[in-house]
Chains A and B, each alone.
Chain A
């Protein structure tokens, strides 16, 4: 039966390729229906599986962990394109398995959607689960965030593998108590950086202890609700970190973890957290420190995450922001830069974005400094325009251009520094629009 399913799957992939279609998800969807929802069960996997989940940073961390093993000479399989639902993982495995369903690799490194962790790993044995953070994101697809955490928590109750958790996020750290018999729970942690605050700066979750309901106390907040917290009542948050990032200096940028000094390319505090998780996996799997260093210092992204473009001679930085945390971070970076600048905000509400866009009201636009003009675009261009207007920004300096090419033309019409923020499904189309502008009017994608 399994063999038949695998053959069917492989034929579907062949057909899709014949028509030059992407086979990233569709084969899995068809097999999902054929198997009554258990589309990952048919594979024979003997090697360890490492899964990465959380709201922000999954793709970065998954890629870096894959490189750790790759540089170590191991054969790995990874879902690079971010097909992270059960159907996407099934499609990936179909491409890499033999006719009998055997998957040949030393390690599987799988970015896994938060809500699909229990789905996939009830079908295949998981060795290590990395949980980065939980923020409000795509709430309407998952129901309330609490439901989502409970789903993963339920999975963790019987999970005995390695659980690598962000110890500075109460939403993820609580998973460490799900199975008291699991001796393989490890926390990563970061000491305060220069812009850490004593009070919370942005909208957040997790203000209360999930175990006893008492308010959580924070020594410091790094960003959003991420920081050193403790429950004075029941002691939640009192753990010994497996790995700690310290001496964080984002201007260079450098940080130290486990006695090693790292110089990442990306200068954000959330990248420090991501790379600390990567270093943690390196430590857990006894990977040579030179390899860890190489991976962390070389890692950069070219997919709309702080990506630079030249629109003619106008420097433009594009950043993905799929939730208020990401957007607030970008606004901070924008503010910390000297001089006047203009912002293009592209907001879509496609299914993958979550149909709801009210998270834009949790972005703190009142901190705008020297932003001389705002252009808005995307399927919800007017929503973001209204939101920025109600923060007190002069409506006459807001231009709404739902069409993306028109929006980029409008942005580039004037001189000076430009910033672009785009949410999840908007980021690729925005990159393409920026590239179209460049091929038409000159400039470059750095």
Chain B
């Protein structure tokens, strides 16, 4: 039986707009296919884990205050996370998690928080706290050669610049910066995005991309995932797309 080993970092602090729901969804979609999914948690007081022993590292989003709290601790994990990433461990990063993997994050008060610098992008928060990128968002992206429109909810003051390989094109909403064309960051083993909602709720294609990548990453016999009945999820997404674009 296949098994997914997941490390959920700072679940107690970085959990905005249902971000922890992403874990519940991954566990659910694994369980429906008889794939074991073991989610371990890491937070500030925890023992330093062996990051490379996981298939997936997940970090959600938080308010500025929480991000300041965890930033020092995250620096301690830098080497471990970097080496795991290089070995092909999947990184799934939402909002704050996304920002902190870049070069730096400068918050609305001008405090600069050092990022892990895994990727070239950097984020500067809009100094006017009222000017945030808020609302439902649709982006068009590609998963395994198939174009998919994915839907989430964004709420960020941060403007992320210098992204070379975005996750998708914005059809409706803001994306990486206010009224920008692109959203998120993508590599074979990295999905970073501002999409909350939680992100995976209406987008089973992302969940399945991650699960399929993880269970196949260390094996020659590539497994195709069992199809699930996603009628509810897809109707849910369609209702929002119809509301935002078609009507």
- Known A-B contacts A361-B201, A382-B235, A386-B202; A203 and B25 likewise in contact (beta carbons under 8 Å): no
A356 touching B155 by the CB < 8 A rule?
yes
Chain B 53-92, CB-CB to A under 8 Å as 1, else 0, gives 0000000000111100100000000000000000000000
B128 to chain A, nearest CB (A): 11
- Known A-B contacts A356-B155, A362-B18; A144 and B64 likewise in contact (beta carbons under 8 Å): yes
- Known A-B contacts A146-B64, A386-B202; A361 and B232 likewise in contact (beta carbons under 8 Å): no
Question: Which among A208, A213, A215, A390 is the interface contact of B28 at CB below 8 angstroms?
Answer: A390
Residues of B within 8 A of A428 (CB): none
B132 touching A143 by the CB < 8 A rule?
yes
B120-136: which residues lie under 8 A (CB-CB) from chain A? 129-130, 132, 134-136
A356 touching B153 by the CB < 8 A rule?
yes
Residues of A within 8 A of B66 (CB): 208
Residues of B within 8 A of A359 (CB): 17-18
B143-182: which residues lie under 8 A (CB-CB) from chain A? 153, 155, 157
Residues of B within 8 A of A358 (CB): 17-18, 21, 153, 196-198, 201
Residues of B within 8 A of A395 (CB): 229, 232
Interface residues of B, CB < 8 Å — how many? 38
Residues of A within 8 A of B31 (CB): 392
- Is B208 on the interface with A (CB-CB < 8 A)? no
Q: In chain A, what residue has the closest Cβ to B25? A: A390
- Known A-B contacts A203-B15, A382-B239, A383-B236; A145 and B198 likewise in contact (beta carbons under 8 Å): no
Residues of A within 8 A of B21 (CB): 358, 361, 387, 390
A191-237: which residues lie under 8 A (CB-CB) from chain B? 203, 207-208, 213, 215
Residues of A within 8 A of B229 (CB): 395
Residues of A within 8 A of B16 (CB): 139
B129 touching A147 by the CB < 8 A rule?
yes
- Is B193 on the interface with A (CB-CB < 8 A)? no
How far is A145 from B64 in the complex, measured between Cα atoms in Å?
10
- Is A391 on the interface with B (CB-CB < 8 A)? yes
Residues of A within 8 A of B64 (CB): 144, 146
Residues of B within 8 A of A392 (CB): 28, 31
A357-403: which residues lie under 8 A (CB-CB) from chain B? 358-362, 382-383, 385-387, 389-392, 395, 398, 400
B232 touching A386 by the CB < 8 A rule?
yes
Question: Which among A144, A361, A389 is the interface contact of B198 at CB below 8 angstroms?
Answer: A361
Question: Which among B130, B136, B201, B235 is the interface contact of A387 at CB below 8 angstroms?
Answer: B201
- Known A-B contacts A146-B63, A355-B136, A382-B232; A207 and B13 likewise in contact (beta carbons under 8 Å): yes
- Is B99 on the interface with A (CB-CB < 8 A)? no
**Chain A residues in the interface with B (C-beta under 8 A):** 139-140, 143-147, 203, 207-208, 213, 215, 355-356, 358-362, 382-383, 385-387, 389-392, 395, 398, 400
- Beyond known contacts A139-B16, A203-B20, A215-B45: 5 more, CB 8 A cutoff: A146-B64, A358-B197, A386-B201, A387-B201, A389-B28
